[in-house]
């Protein structure tokens, strides 16, 4: 279930057309003081990062929060299983491939986890490579399940 305050935060960011550093502080202090609590919340924030311009502090927050949730909040703790890896790859890639922030999330999850499913490791490598190509006009293809 999605936190109602998080829904309001996302609606506000969309209506004003961006996320400021002050918005990030409010998100951390008032909306998600204990971090991301569900896949739905993670999906919403990942989609928001893709949808509106944001201060760099939002990207830093999002990376730390998604890594913490995926590695330490999901079960089994410290491990990324195939099903979780498929969810992450799908959410991070969106419709047009991962943003640079999404690519960093994938890489940091693989680094932080004690063990990661092979499909997430492959996704992180491809996402990192693709996001570093300036002006890449091609649509990347990612293996989301295996």
Provide the whole-model pTM: 0.88
Statement: residue 136 has pLDDT above 80: no
Statement: residue 134 has pLDDT above 60: no
In angstroms, the CA 83 to CA 120 distance is 10
Residue found under tokens 């506000």: 12
With cut-offs at 50, 70 and 90, classify the pLDDT of residue 137. Answer: very low
Closest by CA to 28, choosing from 13, 47, 6, 49, is 6
Closest by CA to 92, choosing from 115, 70, 75, is 70
């Amino acid at each position: 279930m999605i936190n109602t305050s998080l829904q309001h935060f996302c609606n506000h960011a969309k209506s004003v057309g961006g996320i400021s550093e002050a918005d990030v502080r409010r998100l951390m202090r008032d909306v998600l003081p204990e971090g991301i609590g569900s896949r739905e919340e993670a999906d919403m924030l990942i989609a928001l990062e893709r949808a509106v311009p944001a201060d760099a502090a939002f990207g830093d927050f999002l990376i730390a929060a998604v890594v913490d949730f995926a590695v330490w909040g999901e079960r089994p703790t410290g491990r990324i299983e195939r099903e979780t890896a498929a969810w992450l790859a799908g959410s991070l890639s969106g419709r047009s491939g991962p943003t640079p922030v999404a690519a960093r999330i994938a890489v940091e999850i693989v680094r932080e986890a004690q063990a990661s499913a092979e499909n997430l490791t492959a996704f992180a490598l491809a996402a990192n490579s693709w996001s570093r190509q300036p002006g890449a006009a091609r649509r990347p293809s990612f293996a989301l399940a295996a």
